[in-house]
Structure 1
């Protein structure tokens, strides 16, 4: 019987080589590495069923006591049988893929074995299907217990199932004398060789899983290294210069040939190949980027056509484009380009996905840090306004002079000054305050100013009813009124008129502050709200601070616009989303309607 063992080992070698070659193919590796969905189970069924069919074709024909020379078997004689490694592949398929994969692969190989004929055709076909189902069930039970499918467990399972096949041959094959003689010849060699083959087969797939773990660890370490190096630039803000430095770091530490970062409107940075037409400041030129910005999903392009670059001679042949998110909103993309599609392997994809997640978290943390800084800046500016010598001492001098001439008015003014201090201190600790509180702060400020300059300014409040509990960021309205008083009417003998309108329009809260003052020069108008403009009376940061806080708090859904003509006044409009859940309905008609 043992003279059969070398022939069987030769057949195991064929299956072993086929398994090794397939294990190096990325699609097969991905199927083995991950949880199996329906499509992947079908692929595993076909794969291991094919191993069983190959074993049938390359098996050894046994005719009574005669072992036929090795050849590609297409049909067996009526009294012949087949010695092969069919059960080995089916058993492994069931162990890795579960009962359905085992059953499917068993049916494929079993039906094919039956079609070859021989007196053991039916018994071998039945035993093959049984082996697939049994292996799938054993693997499923072991996984449920939290145990791994080890090579030794697989080998014992393969030997056991081969033993069962010998028993089925003895029971089902006719005549019994031929069946008994066959089992005596092939039984022990097939049990041992199939066990050894299963052991070696599992070693291959275990090496795939171990390599996957090493790859993931390497990818994770590199992602954290890149994240650590880029963090200082993220803290500077999401702009062209910081993104350029970030892109340089990614290009240096990855296999990418070019790295690009965009926001939702323009390319913030592109370093590496194709920089001549992927230009910083231009609109994204690839259709791939537009898809990612629209749908917020990772897209991989494996050829030039899928990139949709508008430049015909673009050398970029493959790309992975990932969305950058802040609070589940797409704010830009990270793009890694390759001149050779083979460079975009599984490692690069996993690395890119990890970087996108880390970068999105860094952007969100940076935005939170920036908002905290802006709010702190607003607090400081409010406190500075309160303790500014001119403002504070002039207010106290006014109150002091009124103490003799009009004590009641002095007392009221002192209360207004106290209210102004209190509102600013409370608002500085909150991200949102009610419109009613914001209007109280404005009225307190106006009471002080109008007492100092009686009859110089008039302020008209036009507030839509039922909005007193609407929430809005603190220090939004009062700085606009203060700007109008400080800058709109310098040395003017005419009475200054300021109008404050607050109303709802298409689910947006509109805040409009207009004056009839001197207006703003065109050159200065373009910069207001977009950058800090120092002036003689202050830092010029009020409008910039308001604009930046609106952008951060409302993710681009709020806006600040300035319309002004020289010698014809200025109108500042703030528009922000209106949340009806925060509004308590009530009859406030006529509130703040006077001058």
Structure 2
């Protein structure tokens, strides 16, 4: 029995090494986080290969109960038996991928065992299928809301799986074989299952923590650099941003460029990477020309013509506005080391946020030149309070729900992207406007869960054109002002219908109404005391009149049961080539 224990320990080590290599693969970790049909098919294939390996690396036990120890079993006489880690693989497949994958992996393992053993001992098919399904069902019940059961339950279920297998073996082979294999197989397969699941838990936990750290770092730096990028990409803003990044990261040098010149370079190499002079490194020129990020692991790959340049590794990301590269963010190390995943993702995140901030700043500068541009500036301007509130909300979520924080960050990114894209047009489609409203309300719902509900009552196609951001302004006004003192039961109804050749827009709420002294001024002049929405409604009314005439100006009805904003504009449809449904 002791010899068998040692030999099975060696086989267990093989499976654990394979498991360790497997969880190091990003592809595998993505599969086990969500049970989709595609992921379960892949997990079935992977664990089926594992269960075949478990059979091939088993320990052969002859009919005289002698242990035969070939490195790999190529055949098994019908009179002989095999001690292996098959149950370990079936159990872990059931616990990670669910009962159906466990059942199918058990079927593959049982069939292979029967074929491998000269088409004898058909009971292995039944026992393996039963164990795979049963452990999967029980595992789903005891894990509750977690991705996997606790270590205690993994041990209990693994022990149960081996007990069921031993019961089948006892029924068909008697007590002689059970006496030899019972303790080693139960002990090692239970330990092995626990180790396998713990390896998965550890890697996934570390990865979530890593994502949280990356998100937190990006948000903190974005928060500190926002005031500078809002004024555009110039020498002054670039120098301040580079100093901030250098201070809060471990990079040896940080640089920013436009398409031609170095705007700022802080840290190692600043004696020859000088602000105002042309970009000199081949790496940066390639990134600016191609619009794709590049990694360099040597001085040669960086391509600096200065012989004494201390920079030896780098990551350079393009800064893009409206899909056009306007410059590059460059971060360097002096030591000959490779960028870690943390550092690479940090730089990528910063480049994306900086590009968005620059786009906002550029849009604001351009829109201040002429009257039409001035109106567009009001369309795309992002309220800094909204931005900072969103960042604070995401920061708070990172402490309790990393996945939700990541989703919120993606919503914020979508909100900025749509702001920039749609803000350049006088009119956008209803579909685009609804997506923008959805991005805005998704962020607000994180701050005020279940506070409001939006009801769309729409009888016109999604290709219908309307002034950009008009629905969002109405919704924002209602969320900020209509429901004061009420945390639930708040409704916003968006009604769009055709009225002859016009589109009638009605946005209603069941809020507290508008004070008479505010109502007579609302939409007719900027109202600073209303917290900003009065200005937004004034600008919207101005746009409506400028685009469609005085017949389309805002009409407001209010009372104790709520407020309704109404306008009618000419009914138009977007061209098929322009409509993004």
Give the alignment's TM-score, normalised by structure 2: 0.50
- Write the distance in 1 (CA, Å) between the matches of 2:198 and 2:242: 41
Alignment partner of 1:68 is 2:67: yes
Q: How many Å separate the matches in 2 of 1:260 and 1:149?
A: 48
Render the CA deviation track for 1:498-522: whole Å, top value 9, x for unaligned.
xxxxxxxxxxxxxxxxxxxxxxxxx
Q: How far is the alpha carbon of 1:92 from its aligned partner?
A: 1.5
> Residues of 1 paired with 2:34 and 2:258: CA distance?
35
Q: Which residue, out of 305, 317, 320, partners 1:321?
A: 317
CA contact (8 A) 1:63 1:80 kept: yes
1:71 is paired with a residue of what secondary structure?
Answer: coil
Equivalent in the alignment of 2:164: 164
Q: Distance in 1 between matches of 2:331 and 2:130?
A: 49
Is it true that 1:582 corresponds to 2:547 in the alignment?
A: yes
Q: What does residue 86 of structure 2 align with? A: 86
Aligned positions of 1:406-445 closer than 5 A: none
What whole-Å deviation, never above 9, does each CA across 1:8-42 have from its counterpart, x for those lacking one?
3443344334434554x354675478547777656
- For residue 198 of structure 2, give the secondary structure of its aligned residue in structure 1: helix
Q: How far apart are the structure 2 equivalents of 1:257 and 1:112?
A: 57
Aligned to 1:458: none
For the residues of structure 2 that align with 1:29 and 1:255, how far apart are their CA atoms? 31
**Cα deviation, residue 59, structure 1:** 1.8
Q: Give the CA deviation at 1:133.
A: 4.7
Match status 1:58 vs 2:54: no
Question: How far, CA to CA, are the matches of 1:373 and 1:585 in structure 2?
Answer: 25
In 2: Cα distance, 1:285 partner to 1:153 partner = 54
Q: Which residue of 1 aligns with 2:354?
A: 359
Question: In structure 1, what is the Cα distance between the partners aligned to 2:174 and 2:156?
Answer: 24
1:210 aligned to 2:205? Answer: yes
Change (3 A) 1:190 1:228: same
Tell me the distance in 2 between the aligned counterparts of 1:19 and 1:43: 15
- 1:287 and 1:309 in contact (8 A); partners too: no
Provide the rounded CA distance (Å) in 2 between the counterparts of 1:308 and 1:38: 44
Give the secondary structure class of the aligned counterpart of 2:81: strand
Distance 1:132 1:320, change over 3 A: farther
Q: Is the 8 A contact 2:62 2:68 kept in 1?
A: no
Show the counterpart of 1:241: 236
Shift of residue 264, structure 1, vs aligned partner: 6.6
1:347 corresponds to 2:352: no
Q: How far did 1:88 drift?
A: 1.0
Question: Contact between 2:313 and 2:334, CA under 8 Å: does it hold in 1?
Answer: yes
In 1, Cα distance between equivalents of 2:337 and 2:42: 23
1:270-285 aligned within 5 A: 282=278, 285=284
Separation in 1, partners of 2:319, 2:240: 19
Give the deviation of 1:82 after TM superposition: 0.9
Closer, same or farther in 2 for the Cα pair 1:12/1:239, shift >3 Å? same
Deviation at 1:79, TM superposition (A): 0.8
How far the C-alpha of 1:348 sits from its partner, in A, is 1.9
Do the aligned partners of 1:33 and 1:212 also contact (CA within 8 Å) in 2? no
After superposition, the C-alpha distances for 1:235-293 in whole angstroms (9 at most, x for unaligned) are: 55421332234234434544556544355776544556888689866579544444547
Using a 3 Å threshold, how does the CA distance of structure 1 residues 141 and 235 change in structure 2: closer, same or farther? same
Take 2:276 and 2:37, find their aligned partners in 1: how far apart are those partners?
44
Gaps of 5+ in 2: 375-422, 427-466, 468-542, 552-581
Please give the alpha-carbon distance, in whole angstroms, between the structure 1 residues aligned to 2:268 and 2:351.
21
Measured after TM superposition, the shift of residue 161 of structure 1 is 2.5
TM-score where L is the length of structure 1: 0.49
Return the match for 1:182 from 163, 171, 177.
177
8 Å Cα contact 1:302-1:341 kept in structure 2: no
Q: Residue deviations 1:379-412, cap 9 Å, x none? A: 9xxxxxxxxxxxxxxxxxxxxxxxxxxxxxxxxx
Q: Distance in 1 between matches of 2:247 and 2:37?
A: 40
Using the TM superposition, give the Cα deviation of residue 53 of structure 1 relative to its aligned residue in structure 2, in angstroms: 3.3
Alignment partner of 1:223 is 2:218? yes
Kept in 1, the 8 Å contact 2:313–2:337? The answer is no
Q: Distance in 2 between matches of 1:357 and 1:169?
A: 60
Deviations, residues 119-146 of structure 1 (Å, cap 9, x unaligned): 7554335544554455555555667856
RMSD over aligned Cα, in angstroms? 5.3
Secondary structure of 2:315's match? strand
- In 2, Cα distance between the equivalents of 1:168 and 1:374? 84
CA distance change for structure 1 residues 360 and 160 in 2, over 3 Å: closer, same or farther?
farther
Mapped to 2, the partners of 1:257 and 1:69 lie a distance apart of: 60
1:370 is displaced (CA, Å) by 7.1
Give the SS at the match of 1:343: coil
State the alpha-carbon separation in 2 of the partners of residues 44 and 335 from structure 1. 40
CA contact (8 A) 1:102 1:133 kept: yes
Q: Give yes or no for contact 2:151–2:198 (8 Å, CA) kept in 1.
A: yes
Residue equivalent to 1:113: 113
Relative to structure 2, which stretch is displaced further, 253-262 or 159-168?
253-262
Residues 278 and 198 from structure 1, CA distance in 2 versus in 1: closer, same or farther, beyond 3 angstroms? farther
C-alpha separation in 1, matches of 2:306 and 2:285: 12
Give 1:63 shift: 2.1
8 A contact 2:88–2:158 mirrored in 1: yes
Query: Does the 8 A contact of 2:127 with 2:168 survive in 1?
Result: yes
Compare CA radii of gyration and give the structure with the larger one: 1
Aligned-partner SS, 1:149:
coil
CA deviations over 1:435-481 (Å, ceiling 9, x no partner): xxxxxxxxxxxxxxxxxxxxxxxxxxxxxxxxxxxx9xxxxxxxxxx
**In structure 1, what is the equivalent of residue 569 of structure 2?**
none
Q: Distance in 2 between matches of 1:91 and 1:278?
A: 61
Aligned partners of 2:32 and 2:39 also within 8 Å: no
Unpaired runs of at least 5, structure 1: 294-298, 380-430, 435-470, 472-577, 587-595
Whole-angstrom distance in 1 between the partners of 2:150 and 2:245: 39
Aligned length: 379
Q: What secondary structure, in the 3-state scheme, does the structure 1 residue paired with 2:317 have?
A: strand
User: The residue matched to 1:66 in structure 2 has which SS?
Assistant: coil
In 2, Cα distance between the equivalents of 1:115 and 1:330?
A: 61
SS of the residue corresponding to residue 19 of structure 2 reads helix
Cα pair distance change 1:334/1:78, threshold 3 Å? same
Among 171, 190, 196, the alignment partner of 1:195 is 190
